[in-house]
Each structure stands twice: as structure tokens, then as C-alpha cells.
Amino acid sequence: MQAVEVGRGLDALFKPRSIAIFGASDDVSKIGGRPLQFLQKYGYAGCIYPINRKAGRVQSLTAYANLADLPEAPELAVVAVPPAGVLEAVQACAQRGVKAVVILSAGFSEMGEEGSRLQMQIGDVARATGMRIVGPNCLGAVGVPDRSIATFSVALEGAFPDTGTVGIVSQSGNLGSFTLRLAGERGLGISRMLTTGNECDVDIADAVASLAVDPGTSVILCCMETCRDGAKLRQAMALAREAGKPLVVLKVGVSEAGSEAAASHTGALACSDAVFDAVLREGGAVRVPSIEQLLEVGHALSVVGPARLPTGHRVAVLTASGGFGVLLADAASAQGLALPKLRAETQQRILSIVPFAAPSNPVDMTAQVSSRPEVLAQVLDAVARDDSCDALILQSASAFHVPRLRDVYLGALAQVRKDHPSRLIVLCARAPQDVRVQLTAMGFPVVEGIDAACATLSALMRHGAGRAIGASSPTAAAIECAPLAPEAFTTEASAKGVLAEAGLPVPLEVIVGSRDEALAAGRRLSFPLVLKIVSPDIPHKTEVGGVFVGVRSEAQLAEEYDSLLARVAQNAPQARITGVLVAQMVQGGVELILGTTKDPVFGPMVMVGLGGIFAEILKDVALQPAPVDEAQATAMLRSLKAFPLLDGARGRPKADLQAAAQAIVALSRFAVRHAQSVAEIDINPLVVLDQGRGAYALDALLVPAPPAEKAKP
């Protein structure tokens, strides 16, 4: 069995010196005919070996009856034969020393159990030999600079893509092919395109990683349905991030219906969309909601480059129309962008240029810009010099289609680029293709729609902020420990016991078995106190009257101890009672909910949100792959809409943010260390006291991991 590093061994897909095509056909409408046609039509320079049982000639080339008859071992093989013949072809490739195979044939895991078995056998060949296999049931790959074509995509029937630095990867063949065609229409030059299909060997993580290490690729566009190996995907994203290559991801299957469809289509388990969102964010990927934004954001990133990406989210809007300014302001705000007022000196300078302008933000230059062309350059320069904004949007409805104004705009933009080379300026405009080329060459993304322009700028700013934060690698916490004892999962007290050993702060408390023991505990702990029933059969203690808060004297303690036992006996007569928990009462503070869950693909995830019922009602939670460090935990807290409650809103005292962050860190490390035995952890509430007074887990629940299922074929 050969271990293959993520993304490695795929150069044979994109720049092979020779290609064999199993099932090569004279009929260019067939899957086996089109790759051969494309290779010849677009001038592939390597050797092409059609393989057809009849031998003879296929599309004017000498054909061979089988792989063994070829004069050399091809570096790449394309398989387009019925499913029953695919395994034989793959085995022949492995024996001959072929480096990579693309299986275009369908009829495997998407067709049921028999197809799944055959697909697994094909994957076994890859794992045993190290030969990389793409597919089956895929649309293949294209290496644009080398005109290496291993696809039957109709996107190539009209024209071949221009060579560029944008790479495309997709699990869905049609999505990848459609993206390739739209990219050409958008003026994007392509480096490589790879669709992974059923992923018996090469998966979406391999595809991303291969582009991350490709010197000819600067931006990666990814259409993703699901993920089979979370660790590999995170490693691939880390490679892209380390290489400084933006990864733009369209993750389909967001809705419940969409997730079910994705699972049915790919034969893989669907993951929670919130988990995907957290993993992509952690990996520095830019997530977009549509294929249109995938292209717009990818194009903008390829034009702007990393040096112009701001870390803030403040934008200045310039337009020649007050109405357009309002539309842009609304769209920008909807994308989470801020429109600060420009500095007083900037506004004064704008008014000195155009006395009738609205100089605050949005900046309305008025129609003067069409009668006094010098206005544009001067106002642009004034706003570009203002450090109260991180980026600019310049809107123009039709100037680039009017020759007189087009030259004015081009001249003004050329000057502002010269004077402010690091400024990010997005153009919200319609323009002829030749003008678009000039503008993008100067480093200005051109986006037609108002909503699209603001969404594109927001994505650029998110990516810039993510690059500035960098990636944390708290790997020291990822060492797994021995499984927890079964007793740890039985009660709140046992759960808090093991969590306290892991560094989670809990109040002083003791389990007692009698009224006298309770009174003795009360004297040691000091009042006020909390009483809780301890039972492995009562997960929700309040529902059976098993909790009393605010015991303030020994007399009350004795009375409430007896009352609590009586209530529980009446409401849960079958429950086993192992004692009563007497705990110090924690007063005041902000209640958070803190917990972990074990995602089937990405493993332990840590979550924090506003505690009590508010977490479910408001859905104000932050999610992050575990483990996290203190900086990441603090960022999670700051991302909550409820963060002002922790930060002293409306005269409240500031909460102990550091203690809360340290609790998140400790829990995340515990979850990773015990990933094999713990499925979920619930701490509700975690009370965060005033600054310097700490945080305490008042209740906790550990859910054991289910017994491991047998591997399915």
C-alpha cells in the first residue's frame, strides 16, 4: 500500500508527454471520440495513442488493440469504456507504469451496491500502486498551457480557454464545465481545470492542493458538494494559504433539501453547513453563494493581487448620481460594509472642486463630472488620500460607452493608480470588452451590478482580513488520550469532575448522602448554595424539581434538602438517586452556552453562544474546528452579536473575556483528546463574571460516542 501526499502526482494530468485513450472512437459525439478530437483540434504536442479493440486507425491516428501494444508507457490514460471493462483497463495501466488515469465512464457508486464494489476495487488499485485515478463518473481535466485535454466537455466545442492563472476544481462535472465556459466569457485566463466525480482516489482536497503548489496558478475557484476527508481538505487549504493563493469556494447543498440531494448524488454523508462554513473560514477560503459570485470574486482577486487587499471593511462610494449613491450605500450595508463620513478636510476639498457636491459618503460628484471632466481625477485623488476608508467603489452607469467620457475616466484612473498604487478601487460599471481589458490591466476589478459589486468588495475585504489574522496551529493539544471511564457520562457531577481536571473552572461543590452531610458541606462551602439531585436517570433536573437555588442558611438547607428529595421521589419514582450535589452559588455575570460536537468528516467542533434559551431562539453562536488557541477563542466571542453584553454595553461592567476564552480553549483541547469516546459536550451555562473574577461551568453533560460502525463497502 502506497501513501500518497495530498495533491501530489497530478502533474501527469496537466502536462503529460503522452496520452492513451481507451475506447477511442471515430464518432466525435461519443465520450471516447471527443477527447481525441479536442487533442488534435487544439494542438496537443505530445503523443496520442487511441486504444480500440478493432485497432486500425481512429480519427486519422494509428490505433492499438490494447495498452500492451503501445510503443511506450503513456503518462496519462483516459478511460471511456463501459463500466464492466474499466477495472481491466485500470489494472493494465498500473502494470504498464501509467502515472495517472482519468475515468470518464459512469455506472459506479451512483448506481448502487454493485457499482460501489467495482468502484472500490478501482480505488484499491490506486492505493496499492500510487497511480493517481480521477473519477469514475467525472468530466475529467484540462491543462490549458500544455493543451492536455482529458475531458469530453461541451465547453471546449466552441473554443479553447485562454491561458491564465486561474485554476478551477469541481466535484460536479457540469458545474466545473459551466464555470470554465463562464470564465472564458468573463475574460479569465485559465491554468488548469479538474473535476473529481465519484472520487475513488483523487478527491477535492487533492485538486485544491495540486493547484496550491502549481506555479502557474494564482487563484483557485472551487465548486464543492461535500467532503470525504476533512483532515485532507484542511491540509489542502493550508497549502493554498501558505502559498498566498486565494481559494474561492462555492459550497452547494446549503439547504436541508440541497444537502440531501448532494449526499444522494455523491454517495457521501452530508455535513452541517455551519461546520463547512467554520472550516472554510478557518482555512482562509472565501465562501460565495452563487456561481456568478464565484466568477466575479475570482476575477477580482486575479486582478487586484494580495498587496491591495485591505484588512478593514470601510468603503467610500463615489458616483455622479445621488440615487445611485443611495443604492450603493444600501447594498454595501447589506454586505456588512461600513460607510464612514469622510474627514472634514476631504469634504472641504471636494466642495472646493464641486460646490454642489454631496461630500460626506456616498460622494455625489453630480452631473458636473460630464461637463467638467477634470472633476473626476481631483475628487478621486481627494478620497483616495482619506484614510478613514479602506477601499473605494466608483460607479458609472454609461461613461465607458461614451468616447469622450471614456477617455476621461481611463485617464483619471490611470493617474490615481500611479499616485495610489496600493488603493483598492472597485468599478461598478458597464464597459465594452476592450475597455474592461484596459481597466483590469491597471488593477481595477470591473463589476456590472450594484449588488454584485458590493458583494465582490465584501469578499475581497474578508479575504484581506483573514490573511492579516493568519492561521493558528495549536497542534500540541491534538494528542488523543485513553477513553474516559463510563462513569464520566453518568451525571453532571462526574462530567464536571473530568472537565475540571482538564482545566475547566467549576464552583466548589460536594456530593452528600444525608441531611447531616449536607449541613456539614454547607458550613465548609459558605452560603448561598445550590442543591441539585444526582441521578444517572435524570438528565433534566429542573423538570422533576431536582434543583433549588439560593439556600442562605443552615435551617433552609435542612428544609430544602428534604423537600428536594420528596419532589424527585414523586416526579421520578423509578430514578436511581446517588446523592445530592451541594455547590457554591455563582451570582451575576453573563451566561454563555459552551459545547462541542463531533462532526463525521471534520471531527470535534467547539461552539460558544449566548446561554439559556437564547442560543436556540437567536441562533447567535460561533463555531470553530477544535482545538483552538486563546486568540481564536477570543475571536469567537467577539464575533457574537451578543458580544456587547460581555463588553460592557449600556454601563454594564466588562466581563472576564480572558477567562471565557481560556475555558473555550480547555474544552476544545479536551474534545480533541477524547474524540474517540466523547460525541458531545454541553456546558450550559458557563457564567462569565466581571473582569478579573473568572468564569464557571455551572452544569455539564458528556455524551458518549456510539460504538464504531463496521466499514461499509
DSSP 385-403: T-TT-SEEEEEESSGGGSH
DSSP label at residue 140: -
Q: How confident is the model at residue 418 (pLDDT cuts 50, 70, 90)?
A: very high
Find the helix packing angle between 322-334 and 450-469, rounded to 10°.
Answer: 40
pLDDT at 263: 37
- Cα separation, 665 vs 658, whole angstroms: 10
Q: How confident is the model at residue 153 (pLDDT cuts 50, 70, 90)?
A: very high
Q: How far is CA 554 from the centre of its chain?
A: 55
Q: Which domains does the chain have, with CATH numbers?
A: 11-303 (3.40.50.261), 306-469 (3.40.50.261), 508-584 (3.30.1490.20), 590-704 (3.30.470.20)
Place of cell 484499491: 124
- pLDDT at 169 > cutoff 80: yes
Q: What percent of the chain has pLDDT over 90?
A: 78
- pLDDT at 238 > cutoff 70: yes
pLDDT at 4: 61
Residue type, 205: A
| Helices and strands (H, E) in the chain, number of each type | 25, 29
Strands (E), 420-473: 424-429, 446-447
- Cα separation, 500 vs 487, whole angstroms: 15
**Across 603-624, average pLDDT:** 80
pLDDT at 272: 77
- Cα separation, 557 vs 100, whole angstroms: 75
- pLDDT at 667 > cutoff 60: yes
Name every residue whose Cβ is closer than 8 Å to that of residue 650 and which is 6 or more positions away in sequence.
none
Query: Is there a contact between 416 and 386 (Cβ–Cβ < 8 Å)?
Result: no
pLDDT at 58: 96
Q: How confident is the model at residue 253 (pLDDT cuts 50, 70, 90)?
A: confident
- Cα separation, 465 vs 313, whole angstroms: 9
Which three cell numbers, joined as nine digits, stand for 677? 469516546
**Across 648-674, average pLDDT:** 93
pLDDT at 1: 58
pLDDT at 191: 98
Q: How confident is the model at residue 255 (pLDDT cuts 50, 70, 90)?
A: low
Query: Is there a contact between 299 and 186 (Cβ–Cβ < 8 Å)?
Result: yes
Pairing of strands 18-22, 391-396: unpaired
Predicted structure pTM score: 0.89
Of residues 27 and 471, more confidence is placed in 27
Q: How confident is the model at residue 479 (pLDDT cuts 50, 70, 90)?
A: low
Query: Is there a contact between 644 and 653 (Cβ–Cβ < 8 Å)?
Result: no
Name every residue whose Cβ is closer than 8 Å to that of residue 171 and which is 6 or more positions away in sequence.
195, 196, 197, 199, 204, 223, 224, 225, 226, 266
- Cα separation, 327 vs 397, whole angstroms: 13
- pLDDT at 268 > cutoff 70: no
pLDDT at 655: 94
Place of cell 454642489: 356
Mean model confidence pLDDT for the chain: 90
- pLDDT at 475 > cutoff 60: no
Of residues 389 and 255, more confidence is placed in 389
- pLDDT at 142 > cutoff 80: yes
Residues 70-109 pLDDT 10s: 999 999 999 999 999 999 999 999 999 999 999 999 999 9
**Which of 94-108, 309-323, 471-485 is predicted with the least confidence, judged by mean pLDDT?**
471-485
pLDDT at 477: 43
- pLDDT at 614 > cutoff 90: no
Which three cell numbers, joined as nine digits, stand for 691? 473582569
Place of cell 476592450: 434
For 163, list phi and psi in degrees, rounded to 5: -75, 135
- pLDDT at 175 > cutoff 50: yes
pLDDT at 542: 87
Find the helix packing angle between 173-185 and 291-304, rounded to 10°.
Answer: 50
Q: How confident is the model at residue 305 (pLDDT cuts 50, 70, 90)?
A: confident
Place of cell 441562533: 619
3-state secondary structure 209-256: HHHHCCCCCCEEEEEECCCCCHHHHHHHHHHHHHCCCCEEEEECCCCH
Pairing of strands 424-429, 391-396: parallel
Bridge partner list, 318:
363, 394
- pLDDT at 258 > cutoff 80: no
Q: Is the sign of the CA dihedral 132, 264, 221, 249 positive or negative?
A: negative
